[in-house]
Chain A
């Protein structure tokens, strides 16, 4: 690093931050464009006539006039490139097209579903964080038995498939004990099983990461320094190690949200919850292309936003990253 006078340092840091933000936004825009294009062209690979699909599939015996009408309405008679550019143009204005099956604007359809899925995913992420942090803190620094037990719980949790965990939870808490409803009823109690189903496997992953980084941190010399000042075991955890242990888990949150959205497809279906996941599954079964494309784009957008958010939070939690960015 070239030595600079203290006075010009802040401006350089700001410049670097600005550059970073610019890169992030450009990167996000690129990812969204690429996802849209990839999806568009992948969908064109589908054998069969989209007009047929719009009119209720091959069995519908639609008349030639009706098919032509649909092709004109949906712009399917245009060259591929024109269709592609038209799609991009509509995307910029937030228009995701019209559902083949429901004949509704996709943006409205998904807008109504997004809230429920985000609530589910956010609650699950929060619960997973709590469980993971609890397990990680409990199982470290307590000897071999606790450590082995912690590892076992983590591996097992991470191995639980959503669809099976959901079924077992329903069998135990709904049909068995009758405590909780087996389908999501829109009440808080109906949300418990879906959230737990999503959170437990994720907690398994997060706890593995947190525990490893806790173990790593507890061997660091600064922990020895802290204890040599008279800090208690709890104080060491609260003031030093938890923060270090949380860092890798924070940077995983983008991945975690994507993973939760994958899981939401299964969980919403099992618990008959309205949401993006179930809408997507129905659209996949019906080959409702605009809806599928819409969900894919929406998820990509959420993922991209989450990546940016993760980056910001990591930088707040770890000043060393800010320093590197300034260099």
Chain B
């Protein structure tokens, strides 16, 4: 154990280059025992490479250099692979995202946890096993004996993440590096894992937290470093950085977090240079007028049930769900993974027929009619997916995708205003002749929105439309959807696991759990005064900015 005063990590001017490109450009970092320092940044900022470089694992084609690199008292600036191996696991542990793939899926988790003991300590098999079971108990694994024999795929997301943490802290390393440790987890699970890491820090371990999620960082970190293009552009105490940032980029990052921004407020700022893409129309600042409550429902899902066959019975994915969506309104549908949200989207799009109940579009039967009769009306209800790339024909250019969507399958369709459409979604005209594969994630989602708009829909079903995007890009896409809704009076069914995003977007919210709607109502009411205990739990666990 290191002295309280001696830093567990002390790095000066860390640089990592791949080929000619330098991706980490002079990072200084110091972590004291029991301190949690966070590096935040968007994808490509160099934060994960930094984390790996601190373990001598930046990659086979990389060059790492530093003026000083001391981990738990040992200088590692010019360390050999042999020396590094002694450090890894013993002096510094690493936790990665999603233990499903971060633990060997073919080996029992117990073996994975025993590995560092086997590598670094002389212990008998019985001693190792005893220590491993102790570790599993320490990280809050129910029934360690049983869990030790399970493989990562046989444990739930939260439990396997606990096992991964156990393997990283097996030797009680002074430094723990956590690279996006909670990213793929549902919010309630995420909250428990963060509490577990906080507990490890309490015991005197220094924690380096790498995350794209400012809210996660706000919960755990003492100090925050903001990274962009391989450099630390701002640092300070978590309170200072998150509440009173000095850099424009940091401000933009924080503004982009939707959780605490009121409905209708802009998330991206065009002045900062990282906001809207060129050509985006300025957004009206006037407060939005909520749709009148007595307007007829444009999309109505009426007591719909959907089951799927599983061995030994049927699995009820959607259980007696009723929703209605009015013109100009956004209905948020939140729930954790597996709650049946996506099945609701497919039912609304009439891609799958309900077992019971019916879906109505503008008062007309929608789910129960023949596909042949439905087809002419399909343009009225569009869809935006989480992964836009796979929703485009890989051979088609943006121009062809949009032209195809615009002519509604008819040859005599009106002339197609490609430029105007691209302009509306904030894309440059030069994008038209590129294929989606060569576009960035944000641009792809804009193309996806443009395609949906090209058919002039009344309703848009958005299934996790921003989950795969960085926070600033996410902000731009949310702003775009908001703006388009206002201009065109679109009705949005907005599906997301992210409470912050839904709260920002939705007029009304429905909370889904295990196929059922457990609570629904006005968005502010649901989030501020949840009536159902599950909603209350979700809201309490949702990470948000501010300490």
Contacts and interface: CB of A to CB of B under 8 A. Distances in A.
Within 8 Å by CB, do A and B touch in the complex? yes
B153 A225 contact: no
A141 B60 CA distance: 8
B85 interface: yes
A12 B116 CA distance: 36
B310 A1 contact: yes
Interface in B183-235: none
A221 B88 contact: no
B102 A224 contact: yes
Interface string A209-238: 000000000001110111111111001000
A12 B52 contact: no
B315 A1 contact: yes
A240 B104 contact: yes
Interface in B99-123: 101-107, 112, 115-116, 119-120
A12 to B, nearest CB: 7
Consensus secondary structure, chain A interface: helix
B57 interface: yes
B90 interface: yes
A71 interface: no
A230 B57 contact: no
Contacts of A227: 55, 57, 88
A71 B254 CA distance: 93
B304 interface: no
Contact of B96 (A141, A225, A318, A319): A225
A224 B86 contact: no
The range of chain A's interface size is: 20 to 34
A244 B60 CA distance: 21
B98 A221 contact: yes
A6 to B, nearest CB: 9
Contacts of A90: none
A228 B55 contact: yes
Nearest to B91: A230
Interface string A286-327: 000000000000000000000000000000011110010001
B16 interface: no
B19 interface: no
B234 to A, nearest CB: 28
Contacts of A240: 104, 106-107
A320 to B, nearest CB: 6
Contacts of B154: 319, 323
A2 interface: yes
Given A222-B101, A230-B89, A323-B153, A2 B94 contact: no
A243 B98 CA distance: 21
B441 interface: no
A323 to B, nearest CB: 6
* Ranked 4 nearest A-B pairs via Cβ: A228-B94, A230-B89, A229-B89, A230-B88
Given A1-B315, A143-B60, 4 more contacts: A222-B103, A227-B57, A228-B88, A239-B107
